[in-house]
Structure formats: structure tokens, C-alpha cells
Amino acid sequence: MNDSFVTIAEQMRTADTILLFTHINMDGDALGSSVALCRALRDLGKTCYILLEDEISDNLKFLDKDYCTWDPEIMKDPDLCVCLDCGEEGRFPKRAEKFREGKVKICIDHHRTSDPICDYNHIDPEASATGELVYKLIRCLDVPIDKEIGEALFAAITTDTGNFQYTNTTAETHRIAAELYDAGIDGNYVSIQIYERIRIERLRLTTRILDTLQLFGDGKVAITYVNQEMLDETGAGMDEAEGIVATLRSIDGVQISAILKEKNPGEIKVSMRAKEQGDVAMIAKEFAGGGHKKAAGFTLHCSMEEAVTLVSEKAMENLANGY
């Protein structure tokens, strides 16, 4: 059962010190929703920070105006610890101990989970982005949404909806976006920061990865991979392979796409996407992974060649079963 935003807002009003957490490999939703909430809580006079354990990617740095810290000692025994866009300690492993220090713990997330870990949880898999949920929470906190909060929320929502293209995009998503425009956001500025500041190294890596593209099942399944050698050759980081899996899905006729990332020799992280057909959460579940019907991931322990074969077979089987 979800706790209402009214209940959660009440908890926030009575707290003085609040520490926010989000998942590793932050995306625009993770950081955008955290920044928006941090700013709103500071507007209410709270001492509030976002505690991180990894670096903010260059295209999201514009969001952090002194909200983020990497120092767990910044706050002793916070009144409240809030995890956003994630609901399990494995998503913030190095900060899990600090999270438990919170006198009260709250989770705000849109990833489906079977067992919520916090005292108060608002988990809504129907929400396109955690940013949508934070928008509603800020409304309950009675904090006016200004340009800065609005742009952070817009960054969150544009990221997780694939710029309002994915199936999770609803009338509600657009209504919230409209409210953000009314608050004075510059949507074009946010989009340029997020989408149009690509490093040349990233583009070179993309070229290398696309060279590995293989199609299976009459062109319905597209699979690529990236290994450490490609990173060394191009000077790009593994995080810069993000987004390619969505590009693959955009190929005409493709229903399921996958990118296989060699984290370590023999350890392969698989990210999958589905278009109109296919349920990649079903595949991920089989390998102890997680995600949504149209976007999911898991880890395999085998060679790249074996992984490509296995993933292609699972994808074709998934489509054949009518998902």
C-alpha cells in the first residue's frame, strides 16, 4: 500500500535535516527529481543535501547548484533519509549504511518492487518518471514551482519518457510538463544540455558499437555489444554507451533490442528494450534482473559470443510467445 503524498509531506515538514539518495549511474530522472526535491525542501528552511557516490555525467552537471555532496559526514543521523528513483540498497551500495542512519526512511520511486524497504513508500510504476511523483509531492509541500525546480523536473521527465515518446508518456505527463512551462522553464535549454552536448569520444564509441550490430529473427531482434578494448581505443567511458539500445529499437522492423556491455572479462551487463511487441522484464526476471516491460536489464557470466547467442534466443522466444 502506498503512503499518500500528504502523509509524506507531513513527515518532511516535521523534519529539520534531510538527506536524499538516488541510484548509481544517475540519469536525468535520478538527479533531476532529487535536485527538485532538495531545492523545495531548502525553500521550506530544511537542511538538505543529495548524497552521491559516483560522478555526475557532464550533460547533467547543469542541474547541480550546490545540492550534491560526496561527504557522508555532512549530516549526522538525519531526521529523514529519502531514496528517489530506486528502492533497494543495492542501487546505492556505498551509501546504504548512511541511509540506515535516517531516523525515518522514505522511498519515492516508479520501479516495480515486491518489497518496499522504507517506513513510508510511494511507489507508482504507472508514473513515467520519478520526476512526476516529485512534482506531486512538491505540490503537497506547498512550495511554489519556479524556473529552477521546473527545469530539474523537466530534465527528469524528458529523460525517462525518451523526450515524450515512450509508452509511459500519458496525458498527465503532458499536463505536468505544461505546468512546468507555466512556471517559466526553458525546455529548449534543458534539452540542449541533456541531448546536444555529446563528447566526440562518445560518438566514436557509438560508431564502433554499431559496427557490431547483428539482426536475428527476420530483423525483429537487434543486438550489439561493447567491450573494454573499444573503450580504450576511443577514450570513451562505458556510461557513454547509454542510449544506443534505444537507437537500435528505432530500426524499422525491430521489436527487441539489446546492448551487451563487458564490465569485466566474463561479466556482461545486458540492457534490453522492446517496442510494440515483447516484454523484456520477463527475460530479465529469468536472470535475476529487473526493469519494466519495455526496458529491463540483467547480468550474465559467460563469454560475449555465448551472451549474444543466449540473448538473441531469449528475445526470439519472447516474441514467438506473443509478448
CB nearer Mn ion, residue 17 or residue 128: 128
- Among the listed ranges 29-37, 69-77, 172-180, 218-226, the one in contact with Mn ion (CB under 5 A) is 29-37
Identify whether the C-beta of residue 188 lies closer than 8 Å to the C-beta of residue 158. Answer: no
Residue 144, CB-side half-sphere exposure with 13 Å CA sphere:
5
Handedness of CA 54, 83, 176, 162 (dihedral sign): positive
Can you read off the three cell numbers belonging to residue 41?
525542501
Give the one residue of 3, 151, 160, 262 binding Mn ion; rule: CB under 5 A. 160
CB nearer Mn ion, residue 130 or residue 255: 130
3-state helix, strand, coil in the chain (%, to 5): 45, 20, 35
Nearest C-alpha neighbor of 60 from the set 36, 92, 27:
27
Nearest C-alpha neighbor of 47 from the set 71, 85, 80:
80
- Our finding on whether 85 is near Mn ion (CB under 5 A) is yes
CB nearer Mn ion, residue 90 or residue 184: 90
Tell me the closest approach of the beta carbon of residue 295 to Mn ion, in angstroms.
Answer: 10
Tell me the closest approach of the beta carbon of residue 107 to Mn ion, in angstroms.
Answer: 13
Q: Total residues at the site for Mn ion (CB under 5 A)?
A: 4
Amino acid letter, residue 69: T
Give the one residue of 15, 28, 29, 138 binding Mn ion; rule: CB under 5 A. 29
Tell me the closest approach of the beta carbon of residue 118 to Mn ion, in angstroms.
Answer: 17
Four-point Cα dihedral 176, 182, 188, 193, nearest 10: -70
Nearest C-alpha neighbor of 109 from the set 94, 93, 128:
128
- Our finding on whether 109 is near Mn ion (CB under 5 A) is no
- Among the listed ranges 7-15, 28-36, 218-226, 270-278, the one in contact with Mn ion (CB under 5 A) is 28-36
- Our finding on whether 240 is near Mn ion (CB under 5 A) is no
- Our finding on whether 151 is near Mn ion (CB under 5 A) is no
N-terminal to C-terminal alpha carbon distance within the chain: 28
Can you read off the three cell numbers belonging to residue 85?
528513483
- x/- letters, 122..141, toward Mn ion (CB under 5 A): --------x-----------
Tell me the closest approach of the beta carbon of residue 5 to Mn ion, in angstroms.
Answer: 17
CB nearer Mn ion, residue 123 or residue 222: 123
- Among the listed ranges 40-48, 54-62, 160-168, 268-276, the one in contact with Mn ion (CB under 5 A) is 160-168
Residue 282, CB-side half-sphere exposure with 13 Å CA sphere:
14
Q: Which residues bind Mn ion (CB under 5 A)?
A: 29, 85, 130, 160
